[in-house]
């Protein structure tokens, strides 16, 4: 009984850690793609630099917010186990 409870809680913590890692990895890839696309767009249309940078920063902030939310959910799961 106690062994099964320990196994369940350790699996929850391990799953939460993997979930947090995947969330951070996804955010890094997404922000990297946004940055690369923004630099490419600025190179093609230098006159639109301000608009491109504004859109890039808003998109990166939204992605970062979702990733932070996912990490917080994973931490809550790990603390609950």
pTM listed for this prediction: 0.80
Q: Domain ranges for the chain, please list them.
A: 25-80
**CA torsion, points 52, 54, 60, 62, in degrees to nearest 10?**
-130
Its CATH class, for the domain covering 25-80, is: mainly alpha
Find the mean pLDDT for residues 48-66.
Answer: 96
Q: Indicate if the pLDDT at residue 3 is higher than 60.
A: no
The predicted structure's pLDDT at residue 13: 86
The predicted structure's pLDDT at residue 1: 52
- What whole-number distance in Å separates Cα of residue 41 and Cα of residue 19? 33
Contact 31, 61 (CB under 8 A): no
**CA torsion, points 57, 59, 64, 70, in degrees to nearest 10?**
170
């Amino acid at each position: 009984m106690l062994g099964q409870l320990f196994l369940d809680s350790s699996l929850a913590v391990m799953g939460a850690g993997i979930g947090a890692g995947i969330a951070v990895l996804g955010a890094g890839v997404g922000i990297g793609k946004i940055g690369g696309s923004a630099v490419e767009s600025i190179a093609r249309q230098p006159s639109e630099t301000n608009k491109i940078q504004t859109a890039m920063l808003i998109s990166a902030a939204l992605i970062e917010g979702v990733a932070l939310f996912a990490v917080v959910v994973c931490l809550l799961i790990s603390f609950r186990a």
